[in-house]
Amino acid sequence: MADEAKAKGNAAFSAGNYTEAIRHFTDAINLAPTNHVLYSNRSAAYASLNQYSEALSDAKKTVDLKPDWSKGYSRLGAAHHGLRQYEDAVSAYKKGLEVDPNNETLKSGLADAQAAQAAGSASSRSRAPPNNLFGDAFGPDMWAKLTADPATRLYMQQPDFVNMMKDLQRNPSNLNLYLQDQRVMQAISVLLNVKIQANTPGDDVEMPDSPPKESKRPADETEPVKEKKREEPEPESMEVSEEEREIKEKKARAQKEKEAGNAAYKKKDFETAVAHYTKAFELDDGDISFLTNRAAVYLEMGKYDECIKDCEKAVERGRELRSDYKMVARALTRKGTALVKMAKTSKDYEPAIETFQKALTEHRNPDTLKKLNDAERAKKELEQQEYYDPELAEKEREKGNECFKEQKYPEAIKHYTEALQRNPKDAKAYSNRAACYTKLGAMPEGLKDAEKCIEIDPKFSKGYTRKGAVQFFMKEFDKALETYQEGLKHDPQNPELLEGVRSCVQQINRASRGDLTPDELKERQAKAMQDPEIQNILTDPVMAQVLKDLQENPKAAQDHMKNPLVMNKIQKLISAGIVQMR
């Protein structure tokens, strides 16, 4: 956009990067070729580089586009003066004064041009005599350089300094009168682009915060005038349009209102904070942070509807302005938070979850992600609470039992699942569904339900018989034996658990005696090699030595067998068919 390129040009000019400023102003002109201010700014940049022919061309274009703008004639006069076209310079300044008779810049420029015109070549020599090395420093681009440099910009607000520089511009030979003023020496350093030692040995003058003691100041100027920010570069005090100035003033006032709102918010003075944020947005509706801040206040006040309205307006306005996606995401997150605060049923969480998801598509913020996860978890818990009904759960479990007896296992699973949704703490329903999965050969699902059953009720024997049965069918006889034995700790005389132990021992002994068929042995070994526990045993250096001793050193092997831990691992390898005892 032209405004963006123009702003970059202004910044470059203020930093003294005139070539870069010209490039940015040129980009802006290409986008807005009828904007007279852009040509004026580029003319000033060219003049700062002593490229007066280019400066003259832009100055003429400025006047053509805006004949009633005095600044254009100031640019035109400065360019003519730089080219030593004094008569044209005088004419340009006079025309400018016809537009703005009280313009001091035009008056000063006219006086300089008339002096140069009257003196001719002699005047040129008087401005820069052979023994005066500083004469060329006070040319028409002097004001541009002084304004652009941060070290001298502040002095431009001090009338006595401006008057001294005007006097030097008219008559450089008067320089000796001002050499004791550090501001003048600093200005010369800037104009000549060299470093000049301002203080003589023994001097202790401190500048530039105040003028020298001998300079007279009005009584009401005990403090230096603070520099005012300018949007335009100011070779000769560049100007902005009234509309631009009004916009900037409103933006500045809006920021002050925001700061006041922030201060009130920290003090928990929410009503005052709302008033300040409201005023800020009225002054500048191009900054959606005023809306999101006010929404935050409404959130604290418990006014969730107002919070949501502000957030929705911020999102809509943000998209129109193409605001930072983080700001849009913040508004959506704040809206989602308000919706969560208002949620009373599981359904109420759905719009909040959707809003958080939209916020994450704008900007993946960890805080928003946490809020989304919390909302989803709260929704699920509330759904369970709303669906919880132990009586209906009992009826569904009974229906599942009837289907199980009729060997309708898929139908039975549906009823048991419904029972668990109605009562997630029903250990019997998990046990029964595990039995159905086992009948259908869905061993992983059956094992998961059996373990959940034991978790809910560790003393329920059926949970251990279900888990042991699944492990037995998966031919994990060692694990099944451990499960049955654990169940017997809670119910020592349970016939199913005792029968499970007997069956597991029988299968383990078959492997120990080497009674497995080749196919059974191959299958058991393949399955064992996928077991992480078996893999750990085989990769253990100590167990590797034990297995080697079993083959080569029977006496050492007997010593190993006295260790219960080693014996337990050997037994697992035997059960897995990895080791066979003959």
pLDDT in tens, 37-47: 999 999 988 98
Q: Give the count of beta carbons closer than 10 Å to the beta carbon of residue 292.
A: 25
In the predicted structure, residue 412 carries a pLDDT above the cut 70: yes
Length of the chain: 582
Q: Give the count of beta carbons closer than 10 Å to the beta carbon of residue 122.
A: 9
pLDDT in tens, 99-111: 888 888 888 888 8
Q: In this structure, what are the phi and psi dihedrals at residue 142, rounded to the nearest 5 degrees? A: -60, -50
The burial of 95, by beta-carbon neighbours within 10 Å (0-12 exposed, 13-18 middle, 19 or more buried), is given as middle
Q: What is the pLDDT of residue 231?
A: 37
The whole-angstrom separation of Cα 264 and Cα 79 is 53
Q: What is the CA radius of gyration of the chain?
A: 45
The burial of 214, by beta-carbon neighbours within 10 Å (0-12 exposed, 13-18 middle, 19 or more buried), is given as exposed
User: pLDDT band at 190, cuts 50/70/90?
Assistant: confident
Q: What is the pLDDT of residue 394?
A: 93
Question: What's the average model confidence in pLDDT over 487-509?
Answer: 91
Q: What is the pLDDT of residue 454?
A: 96
User: pLDDT band at 175, cuts 50/70/90?
Assistant: confident
User: Is residue 448 within 8 Å of residue 439, measured between CB atoms?
Assistant: no
> Which residue has better confidence, 51 or 575?
51
The whole-angstrom separation of Cα 452 and Cα 349 is 28
User: pLDDT band at 157, cuts 50/70/90?
Assistant: confident
The whole-angstrom separation of Cα 391 and Cα 577 is 49
The whole-angstrom separation of Cα 374 and Cα 333 is 13
Q: What is the pLDDT of residue 581?
A: 58
The whole-angstrom separation of Cα 478 and Cα 573 is 10
Q: Tokens for 553? A: 């050193």
Tell me what percent of the residues of the chain surpass a pLDDT of 90. 47
Question: What's the average model confidence in pLDDT over 441-456?
Answer: 95
Question: What's the average model confidence in pLDDT over 129-154?
Answer: 68
Q: What is the pLDDT of residue 553?
A: 79
Q: Tokens for 14? A: 């203020």
pLDDT in tens, 285-296: 989 999 999 999
Q: What is the pLDDT of residue 576?
A: 67
The identity of residue 242, as a single letter, is E
Q: What is the pLDDT of residue 235?
A: 44
pLDDT in tens, 522-570: 776 677 777 788 788 878 888 888 878 777 777 777 777 778 888 778 7
In the predicted structure, residue 421 carries a pLDDT above the cut 80: yes
User: In Å, how far are 283, 308, 397, 488 from 86, measured between CA atoms?
Assistant: 48, 67, 107, 115
Q: Tokens for 158? A: 């001090």
Cis before 208 (ω within 30)? yes
pLDDT in tens, 471-490: 999 888 888 999 999 999 99
In the predicted structure, residue 53 carries a pLDDT above the cut 50: yes
Q: Tokens for 62? A: 């400025």
The whole-angstrom separation of Cα 233 and Cα 380 is 61
Question: What's the average model confidence in pLDDT over 118-125?
Answer: 54
User: pLDDT band at 221, cuts 50/70/90?
Assistant: very low
User: In Å, how far are 80, 264, 508 from 502, measured between CA atoms?
Assistant: 114, 77, 10
* Lowest-confidence region among 80-84, 197-201, 496-500: 197-201
